[in-house]
Structure 1
Amino acid sequence: MTTTVSRSTSGASVAVPALVTAGLFVVSLLAGLVFAGAVYTNPFGDDAGIAAFYAGHPTLVSWVGFLQFGTGLALAVLTATLVVRLRSLAPGLPAHTAVAAAGGLVAAAFLALNGLVQWVLAHPGVTEEPAVRRAMHYLYFGLGGFAHVAAGALLVGAVSLVARRAALLPGWLSAAGLVIAGLSLASSLTFVTEPATTLIPVGRFAALLWLVAVGFLLPARARER
């Protein structure tokens, strides 16, 4: 005779911080589209266009930076909440959970720093200097782009492995997380080749949607057989 026992867990909802994280980031992008007609300026593009963007939209740049700074903080909360849940549901996989924590917190830090750099770029005295403007623009793009997305790959990939080994999520969702993690990690090739930038939005938005799905589907209790 086989007996199934439910082991309850404690902790806050994972869905709420996942929705807040995704929501804040989407709002930051919509603000750029509505008020400037562009989500961001391409650091590999024409310098005159970059200068015109920052000269014409300093208030918008400040608000987008503020929203993305908030997204970084929300991601840190999501990571902590998710890690606490995983430690309770899958106590036998501490290394994987630690990787998830490290990846999520580093990704959150990169995105928060990206917001701070945008605040600096909102000051005309900074953007009037071509060399400084270009350097700060590359830094902003790197922090909030491939650095953030590649670090997030560790969060998504580690959570996927824990969920797969402990059967916490549907198999297709765990497999999708591993694919997303691979694409996100590949975006770090932007270090050596510009075409790799196309992987940044793919990894970013896929990861956000995946984390929201995990927030709703991750069980609140483990079932032991």
Structure 2
Amino acid sequence: MYDWFYERKELPMSTHSNAPARAAGGPDPGILGLVSLGLLVGSLISMAVLSGGGTITSPFGDTETVAGFFADHGFAARFASMLQLGSSIPLGIYAATVYARQQRLGIRVPGPNIGLFGGTTAAILLAVSAIITWTQSQPIVSANPELTHTFAYLSFAAGGFAHVLGLGLLVAGIAVPALLLRLVPVWFAWVGLVVAILAELSFLTMVIEPLQFLIPIGRFGSLIWLVAAGFLLPKTRHTQGERA
């Protein structure tokens, strides 16, 4: 029953049978990436729909505006945070699945470990951001403007540049070994490296507010690249040889 969740070892071919070796199992990382991306986009759409076209304002705005949004649109914030929390789960599973696949491909460089660390960190921080947003939406909290504004900074930090930093490490941990071993098209690997660099630069937002545009670029650029990488990565060395 648990075969879907865990990678299965390839079995040697029997000397008495011509049956091929058993294929590797586990969830398809491409599908996991699509689910994570879909839930995240769904959280943004639901926020806009349920709040009448509004969005959570930047924490760098004034306290009354930031707190007022949660006071007026608490349900929209709670529903969106629920989808955002859901998005973190397939992201974490994606990181673990790709790590297992890289190990099966014989990649023995730091890349897979860096990617696993980055993906796990990104998933946890996205979940933390969702929980903080849910907390802000509670009437007892939103009634206190200063407290709501404080939580807004925490949510932005966890789900913004900190989360994107983790995504960048996940992308780099896949793109670099894939480039060196030609596991994916060369141009695609280089696109991943560019996206990873932009994602890592998002930490400059901590002191240079105008660079906030790097956060959505790093977030959605990374997720879209991860979806494609999940479908492009070979499952085994045998598969890679067939592609070559």
Q: Mark yes or no: TM-score above 0.5.
A: yes
1:165 offset after TM fit, Å?
A: 1.3
Partner of 2:81: 65
Q: Does 1:10 align with 2:18?
A: no
Residues in 2 aligned to 1:38 and 1:212: alpha-carbon distance in whole angstroms: 28
Q: Does 1:51 align with 2:35?
A: no
Partner of 2:128: 113
Partner of 2:224: 209
Provide the TM-score with structure 2 as the length reference: 0.85
SS at match of 2:180: helix
Unmatched runs of 5 consecutive residues or more in structure 1: 1-6
1:15 offset after TM fit, Å?
A: 1.4
Corresponding pairs, count: 219
Residues in 1 aligned to 2:89 and 2:57: alpha-carbon distance in whole angstroms: 24
Partner of 2:208: 193
Which residue, out of 174, 190, 193, partners 1:159?
Answer: 174
Question: What CA RMSD, in Å, does the superposition of the two structures yield over aligned residues?
Answer: 1.8
Q: Does 1:175 align with 2:190?
A: yes
Q: Please tell me the residue identity of whatever aligns with 1:42.
A: S
The structure that has the greater radius of gyration is: 2
1:192 offset after TM fit, Å?
A: 1.2
Partner of 2:145: 130
Provide the TM-score with structure 1 as the length reference: 0.92
1:9 offset after TM fit, Å?
A: 5.9
The answer to which of 137-146 and 37-46 deviates more is 37-46
User: Relative contact order, CA 8 A, sep 6+: which one is greater?
Assistant: 1
Q: Please tell me the residue identity of whatever aligns with 1:11.
A: G
Q: Please tell me the residue identity of whatever aligns with 1:205.
A: F
Q: 1:190 to 1:114 in 2, by over 3 A?
A: same
- The 8 Å contact of residues 56 and 69 in structure 2, kept in 1 or not, is answered as no
Partner of 1:85: 101
Residues in 2 aligned to 1:56 and 1:63: alpha-carbon distance in whole angstroms: 14
Which residue, out of 94, 103, 107, partners 2:118?
Answer: 103
SS at match of 1:152: helix
Unmatched runs of 5 consecutive residues or more in structure 2: 1-20
Residues in 1 aligned to 2:224 and 2:54: alpha-carbon distance in whole angstroms: 22
- The 8 Å contact of residues 184 and 233 in structure 2, kept in 1 or not, is answered as yes
Q: 1:131 to 1:99 in 2, by over 3 A?
A: same
User: How many percent identity over aligned positions?
Assistant: 37
Choose between structure 1 and 2: higher helix proportion. Answer: 1
- The 8 Å contact of residues 11 and 85 in structure 1, kept in 2 or not, is answered as no
Q: Please tell me the residue identity of whatever aligns with 1:75.
A: L
